[in-house]
Amino acid sequence: MGSYQVSNDTLSKTSKWISDVLATLQGYLKEIEEKKGEIDEYSERLRGAFQTPTGISQVLKCLLFPKSPEHHYVYYRSTKSRVKIDEMLKNKCVLLFISGLFGIEDEIKLLKEISEDLASNPKCEKDGMRKSDFKILWVPIVSSSLDSEKIKTQFNFIAQQFVTWSCVVDYSIVGPACKKLIRQKLRYMNKPMIAVFNQQGSRTNNDALAMLFAWGHHAFPWSTGDDLIFVRNWNWFWSILKDINQQLSSLNEKDYNIIFGCMDEADTNNYDGSWLGKITVELEKIKRDKIISSSGFAIKYYHHGKQAENDFKFAYKFWAFVENVFTSLKSMKTTTIKDDPSLDNLKKFLALRREKSGWVIISQGSEVKMVGSGVSVYKTLYKFESWKHNITQHGFDGAFVNEYFNEFPPQSNCLRLDLKTNVSDVSVPLECVTCQSEMEIQLVRYVCCHGNHSRAKYVHRLA
């Protein structure tokens, strides 16, 4: 048999191929080790922060900081100096504000007001918690893809505002495992949020931002459900109306209040010829009717947005408040809220906002008697002569409601909700008011807020 000789060139190519394969395999092994290290680090942080927490300091270290103690510092107050986290936040309750670096002006203003209240009322106590027990900690989550100089400049600009009344974590030390934990366990979705932790490191509220925007320091200590007392029996509605409409600051419990408006501010400014322009004519006729004048109660009416100096600002503040209350209430999972009609009331009201026919609320004093379509209510009032004889026996609300529902029975079609703010909690099931079935998410619309004064960040449309 003849011998087979391999040329040097072939050996050289084979050697290079083996070296390339070995280098590739070594790269894979390194990648596997890195992934394993990331998984181990994540699991360790997960246990320390959420499964076996021993206190707020440990939770924050696992959630935010590198392992090395040399990084366990926050920036604090007017000294603008670094303070050890154990010295600053041990045995404290924490409002953990998590956000990006841009578009958080409203949240900064809100937290500054909360901080001032905590400082001015340190001994105020509720549910065993004092206001002196609370600290605010800002954690900026920054994408590494952004321009580093722009990030640094913006961070320093905002941090200088925070450190005069709060604690700040340097964005550069929040590592990938921490960011992953924040996104998965705290459900941070690139939208400002405030998680509330007690001294033991347990979360008492997954996201209190909507509650804080709606009720501020009144809902202290901001645990889930602390704002329920403000929501029941349409208290939320009167709270915002009385705040921005002085005519409603004092309600006579015998008198009837008819409050009406329309979804589009443009419609409320150009309403001649529509029901918005005609309803006041009918209401004036009803007020002067002998049956009403001899009944012992008065009919009062208010056009939502028309009595404010700045109609758009009035309407925006009103609907932003309603959505904040809705978001906070929707997040509650207690049996208490299941037995309370407040969430359904909010859903009905928010659904009517989308109707071009407008909305009307009729109350006697502060007790809401009916919520209905603006056009339908107008048509019912227009036919006052045909049902006014029932007022003596059934009262104004009883006579009106009977006529309204006889003429316009409850619709069988399901309503739609469009929420412009505070909709990061899209995974929480929401039932339709009409058919009681679970609503499905049809569309999430992202809108850039750059240059938009109202800062509407996206629209969440539900079927």
Joined tokens for residue 90: 């041990």
Residue 327 confidence class, pLDDT cut points 50, 70, 90: confident
Residue 281 confidence class, pLDDT cut points 50, 70, 90: very high
pLDDT, tens digit (0-9, with 9 covering 90-100), for 28-87 = 888 888 888 888 889 999 998 998 888 999 999 999 999 888 889 998 765 667 889 988
The least confident of 74-83, 180-189, 398-407 is 74-83
% of the chain surpassing 90 pLDDT: 35
pLDDT, tens digit (0-9, with 9 covering 90-100), for 99-139 = 999 889 999 999 999 999 999 999 999 988 999 999 999 99
Closest CA to 372 of 275, 458, 459, 293: 275
Residue 262 confidence class, pLDDT cut points 50, 70, 90: confident
Of 301-305, 355-359, 384-388, the range with the highest mean pLDDT is: 384-388
Specify the pLDDT at position 416: 63
Specify the pLDDT at position 418: 64
Residue 194 confidence class, pLDDT cut points 50, 70, 90: very high
CB atoms within 10 A of CB 87: 12
Specify the pLDDT at position 442: 52
Residue 200 has pLDDT above 50, yes or no: yes
- Report domain extents, the chain: 56-222, 231-462
Residue type (1 letter), 269 = N
CB atoms within 10 A of CB 7: 8
Pairing mode, strands 134-140 and 167-168: parallel
Specify the pLDDT at position 329: 83
**439 contacts: CB under 8 Å, gap ≥ 6:** 417, 429, 430, 431, 432, 462, 463
Largest alpha-carbon pair distance within the chain? 128
Rounded distance between C-alpha atoms, residue 5 and residue 365, angstroms: 106
Rounded to an integer, the average pLDDT of 177-182 is: 93
Specify the pLDDT at position 415: 60
56-222 topology per CATH: Glutaredoxin (3.40.30)
Rounded distance between C-alpha atoms, residue 324 and residue 315, angstroms: 14
Residue 328 confidence class, pLDDT cut points 50, 70, 90: confident
Residue 287 confidence class, pLDDT cut points 50, 70, 90: very high
What backbone torsions phi and psi does residue 123 show, to the nearest 5 degrees? -90, -5
What backbone torsions phi and psi does residue 444 show, to the nearest 5 degrees? -120, 120
- Are 50 and 184 contacting, i.e. CB atoms less than 8 angstroms apart? no
CB atoms within 10 A of CB 345: 21
